[in-house]
Amino acid sequence: MAANAAGGLNEAIAHATRLLGADPGGALALARDILRAAPGHPHALLIEGQALRLTGNAGEALSRLAALARGQPRMLDALWELSQVASATGDSAQAVAALESLTRQQPAAANAWFLMAKELRKLGRTQDAWRADLSGVHASSRNPELLKAAVAMNEERFDAGEAILKAWLQRAPEDAAATRLLGEMIWRRGDLTEAMALVERAVALAPGFDLARDFLIRLLLQANRLPDALAHAEILVTSPLKNPGHDLIKASVLVRLGEQAPAGEIYERLLKLQPNQPQVWQNLGHVRKTLGQQAEAIHAYRQAVTHQPTMGEAWWSLANLKTVKLGDEDVAAMESALASLAPDRREDIFHLHFSLGKALEDAKDYAASFRHYEAGNRIRRAMVQHDAAEFTAEVEATAKTFTAPFIAAMGDGGCPAPDPIFIVGLPRSGSTLVEQILASHSQVEGTMELPEMMIIASRLQARVDEGEFPDFRTMIASLTPGDRLRLGEEYIERTRVHRQTGRPLFIDKMPNNWQHIGLIKLILPNAKIIDARRHPLSCCFSGWKQHFARGQTFSYDLTDIGLYYRDYVASMASYDEAAPGAVHRVLYEDMVRNTEHEVRRLLDYLGLPFEPACLEFYKNDRAVRTASSEQVRQPIFTDGIEQWKNYEPWLGPLKAALGPVLAAYPSAPDRAS
């Protein structure tokens, strides 16, 4: 008889539980029937509390569940239900108390930790909330579903991983760890926008999720959303789990924003705590170099290679200080480092080759120097993607688009702001010198090589690549005056973060923008464009032996760089023909030989009065991030104009690639050539 009674009670409990979702009123009535038959039955009391919450009687539910939790402190379902009702009624203190009891007994309950973090924030206990979020993430990391998804991601089985995570998030939509993992998976598939939205949601769900915030900052940097990245970095460094990596990522954001001095302070503070950090020494060296503090930069780079003799990038950073010459001891140290490195250490190896190339060039051993430059470039070229023929086709499509009739047919439009001055050309063409001269004028602010125009252009090109338009010309022709105004305003707004003074004009020195001058004039008709040009052999060889950290994939092969220069000359000649006078050309050789005359011509083009400070540009202490940062802090010298002649025996591939461009310089070759 007793067994039959127990079985009936269990069946009634199960039935009441099933009713909760579809008929909470019926579940409440059945639970009370059970309690009349079995007063104080814990599961019936739990169903009663749940049903009261679902029928809108939160106050009574809270009272019942609190009593149940006191009487059954190890009943985890009761504690969880109590915490939810307490949260819903605004009783954060009681919610936290219930959750603390629950998580002590079941530390793997991720959802309990995350809810606790929210309630702790309501109570103003921010640091405790942060720790609760971190505990929730730790608990989630042991979730078998998430572990399976992570394995799938690492094996690049993205479809399988996404399916696992999306199914899990259907059941647990507020799981911050699963949301962040899905964001990373989608980022690895190449969708930055969707990935960023998911990681932002993960951080919103669990503000103390440090790894998610760190990842979000990196995504924001990738998207060039620098103010947002800094805001998150400022939060990250306040984490109760102190991590030097948080300070480093904040410093990297500050560097991207041009805030070199505060970034340097972070590096120095970290080095005082732990001097044996070659990467931090190198970062500090970059800051000191940019600020013109050459002695301090040399010291920092020397410290980096002292602590890690095989650190190729630090050696290259030291060699790349144009006013530093590495001696015999340095050459021996680099050769020893090179001999000790395993083949898979390609980054260190090619940096050491470039460094040895520079050291041996300074020693006038040009044959050995060339061998090292060639070895470094060969390794680097194998690590990047650049299709010279495809690039030429893109340049030709642009040139064929922006003809005089096409420009006339597009008519007026774009943002009328006169603020931007674009300096375009190839790297190592003298563009930093032009920038430094102009930035010494009271009306002009120097910024840096800004990526915003390239981001806009890439977004437009994607519309062709994705099939929305059949070709580039059709896509550009589709831009209405309103579209052009919006795009121009976007550029002005996105670059505002880089402007630190009240000067009315600013410089964008991204050299690759020569590919987009037609677009620039469509969306910013009053912008000025300066083409900084240098003798093709001098410019191309200087670029080939200058290792660029990123963005110049054409520069690691003499043929590639020669063809790139040839495409550039053809493109600029085409636009000169379509829009005469729109672009002002500065020849490096003329600038260094007849500086004042060329500066006056430049200022006349910009509509600015002559200022003597432009001739004393080397006294300007602004931050300069390019490879010419030390050179532009000295008066003009002509020593570098014909350095390529020391390597002429080996420049046959470059001369062949340049073809008629070489003989025609400084003019463009005839179209028939």
Using pLDDT thresholds of 50, 70 and 90, give the confidence band for residue 672: very low
Kindly report, residue by residue over 472-524, the tens digit of the pLDDT. Answer: 999 999 999 999 999 999 999 999 988 989 899 999 999 999 999 999 999 99
Per-residue pLDDT at 640: 63
Alpha carbon 582 to chain centroid, angstroms: 33
Alpha-carbon separation of residue 569 from 79, 594, 619 (angstroms): 74, 23, 33
Alpha-carbon separation of residue 36 from 29, 67, 72, 234 (angstroms): 11, 17, 19, 58
Report the alpha-carbon distance of residue 220 to residue 69 in Å, rounded: 45
Across the range 572-584, mean pLDDT stands at: 96
Per-residue pLDDT at 476: 96
Q: Does pLDDT of 2 surpass 60?
A: no
pTM of the model: 0.80
Question: Which has the minimum average pLDDT: 234-248, 487-501, 633-647?
Answer: 633-647
Q: Does pLDDT of 404 surpass 70?
A: yes
Kindly report, residue by residue over 87-142, the tens digit of the pLDDT. Answer: 988 999 999 999 999 999 999 888 899 999 999 999 999 899 999 998 988 888 88
Report the alpha-carbon distance of residue 19 to residue 13 in Å, rounded: 10
Question: Which has the minimum average pLDDT: 28-37, 149-158, 326-335?
Answer: 28-37
Asked if the domains 144-324+334-339 and 388-404+418-617+634-664 are classified in one and the same CATH topology, the answer is: no
Question: Which three-class secondary structure state does DSSP give residue 269?
Answer: helix
Q: Does pLDDT of 635 surpass 80?
A: no
Per-residue pLDDT at 7: 59
Question: Which three-class secondary structure state does DSSP give residue 532?
Answer: strand
Across the range 339-357, mean pLDDT stands at: 95
Alpha helices for 106-156 (secondary structure H)? 110-122, 126-140, 144-154
Per-residue pLDDT at 474: 96
Alpha-carbon separation of residue 416 from 252, 487, 528 (angstroms): 34, 12, 12
Q: Does pLDDT of 621 surpass 70?
A: no
Pairing type for strands 528-533 and 420-425 reads parallel
Pairing type for strands 583-587 and 528-533 reads parallel
Across the range 139-152, mean pLDDT stands at: 89
Per-residue pLDDT at 197: 96
Domain 144-324+334-339 falls under CATH 3.40.50.1100: no
Per-residue pLDDT at 623: 53
Domain topology for 2-140: 1.25.40
Q: Is the separation of the CB atoms in 27 and 12 below 8 Å? A: no
Q: Does pLDDT of 236 surpass 80?
A: yes
Q: Does pLDDT of 307 surpass 80?
A: yes
The partner residues of 215 in beta bridges, in order of sequence, read none
Per-residue pLDDT at 34: 85
Using pLDDT thresholds of 50, 70 and 90, give the confidence band for residue 639: low
Kindly report, residue by residue over 39-93, the tens digit of the pLDDT. Answer: 888 888 888 888 888 888 888 888 889 998 898 899 999 899 899 999 988 999 9
Which two tokens mark 607?
A: 């509509």
The proportion of the chain whose per-residue pLDDT surpasses 90, expressed as a percent, equals 72
Kindly report, residue by residue over 80-97, the tens digit of the pLDDT. Answer: 989 999 998 899 999 999
How confident is the prediction for the chain on average, in pLDDT? 91
| Helix axis angle, 210-222 to 176-188, nearest 10° | 30
Using pLDDT thresholds of 50, 70 and 90, give the confidence band for residue 624: low
Question: Which three-class secondary structure state does DSSP give residue 507?
Answer: strand
Per-residue pLDDT at 638: 60
Kindly report, residue by residue over 198-211, the tens digit of the pLDDT. Answer: 999 999 999 999 99
248 φ, ψ (degrees, to nearest 5): -65, -40
Per-residue DSSP letter, 75: -
Longest dimension (CA), the chain: 113
What architecture is the 388-404+418-617+634-664 domain classified under in CATH? Answer: 3-Layer(aba) Sandwich (3.40)
Per-residue pLDDT at 274: 94
Q: Does pLDDT of 636 surpass 80?
A: no
Report the alpha-carbon distance of residue 511 to residue 426 in Å, rounded: 6
Kindly report, residue by residue over 356-375, the tens digit of the pLDDT. Answer: 999 999 999 999 999 999 99
SS3 for 154-219, per residue? HCCCHHHHHHHHHHHHHHCCCCHHHHHHHHHHHHHCCCHHHHHHHHHHHHHHCCCCHHHHHHHHHH
**Domain spans in the chain, listed from the N-terminal domain onward:** 2-140, 144-324+334-339, 388-404+418-617+634-664
Per-residue pLDDT at 575: 96
Across the range 512-539, mean pLDDT stands at: 96
Q: Does pLDDT of 673 surpass 50?
A: no
